[in-house]
Each structure stands twice: as C-alpha cells, then as structure tokens.
Amino acid sequence: MRANLHRRRCFRVEDGELVTEYGVLALQGDWAAHGTILRELGAHTCPVRTAADLARVDALVIPGGESSAMLRLMEPENLSRRIRDRIVAGMAVLATCAGVILLAENIQPPQPGLAVLDVEVVRNAYGRQLHSTVAEIVLTKELGKPRCMEGVFIRAPRIVRVSSNVTVLGRWRDDPVLIRQGQILGATFHPELSADRRIHEMFMKAGEAGHG
C-alpha cells in the first residue's frame, strides 16, 4: 500500500496519461550522460539536487563519482535519508560505480552509506584512476543477446559478497559487476560510457512498473 501511495503522488499526468519521471542525482559525477541516454530512450528526466526535486521523481539514477563527497553534498537537504526512505518504499534505482558503494550494506574500508543493497563492496579494489580499464562483461540470458557488454571501469568498487536475494546479471573475471535486488539495479562500471543501452532500458522498465 505504501508503494501505491508513492505512485499516486509522484507520477505526472500529461495529455490524460500517467508519465514516469526519471531523476538523476546531480551532485557529482557524470550525471548528465545518464540523463542524455534516458531522453534518447524516450524518458522524461530531471536533475535531482534537493528534497523537492526528489519528491517529483518516480525513479532515480545514482551516478558514479566519489562516494564520501556525495554523502557530504547530500547533507544540507538530508538527501541520503530521503533517498533511502524512497528506496525502501519501492522506488526503482540504477546505481553505478560509486552509487553501488552508497547503497551497499557493507563497505570496506568502512564508511557511512544507505545500506539498502545486500552486498559487501571494497572501494577502489581494482586500483586508482590510472588503472581504469575497458573490459568485456559476460551477461546472463535475462539481458538478451549479445551475451556480452562493454564495461568501462574507473576506480571501480569490487563486489566481494552477495546475499541470496541478489541476482548477478553480469560478471567480469568471475566478479559480480552487474546485479539486481528487487527494483535496485547496480553496476560497478559506467554503462553511460558505453553504446549499449540495455541497462538503462531495464531501469526504465522498473520505473514504469510503478515502483516508488
């Protein structure tokens, strides 16, 4: 019932039809690229910087960046708690790179987070920005064909544990790099830097399903 209340409040009516509004957390990182991709796919988007912005959207992208800096930037509007509450209520989320760190239940080395994604991550596990790489990710059947995808890893976190309620959708070198838990999608790489749009399409379907 709580998710239904969120849906009635947040969905926008345009020409007599409900329109899903997709937000992109626009505090740091390559947030604009996510918005561009979503608009190319036909979505209505808006940047999210304040509590009022968050209240207007039905689904949210949490982009890469620097996780501890993002937490500091969220403090004035208490956005971390507000985002957590929306996710718990069912809002669809796409978290990429540092976004996965922010959502993780366990973070190493320890730092605060939203603790809504039942995984353990190690920050900067593949090296610093100098060691960033482009790699081929092996996908599950759920993402269709081709069964691989280009992944751009920039100071990427490593997922070292996933709970039984987390589905692994993609791996690189046997590490989970693309995961789903309910309405939450997490990618330790940067899908906005690839020509493959399947992750954003999956996120849009979750938003259209009425989560949040």
Give the single-character DSSP code of 99. Answer: H
Q: Which residue in the list 6, 34, 190, 200 is annotated as catalytic?
A: 190
CB 137 within 8 Å of CB 130: no
Q: Which residue in the list 10, 34, 192, 200 is annotated as catalytic?
A: 192
State both tokens at 201.
Answer: 């399409």
d(CA 153, CA 193): 10
CA-to-CA dists, residue 94 to 24, 63, 76, angstroms: 9, 8, 23
State both tokens at 4.
Answer: 């239904």
Is 34 a catalytic site residue? no
Length of the chain equals 212
Q: Which residue in the list 6, 10, 34, 97 is annotated as catalytic?
A: 97
d(CA 44, CA 204): 10
Q: Which residues are tagged catalytic?
A: 97, 190, 192
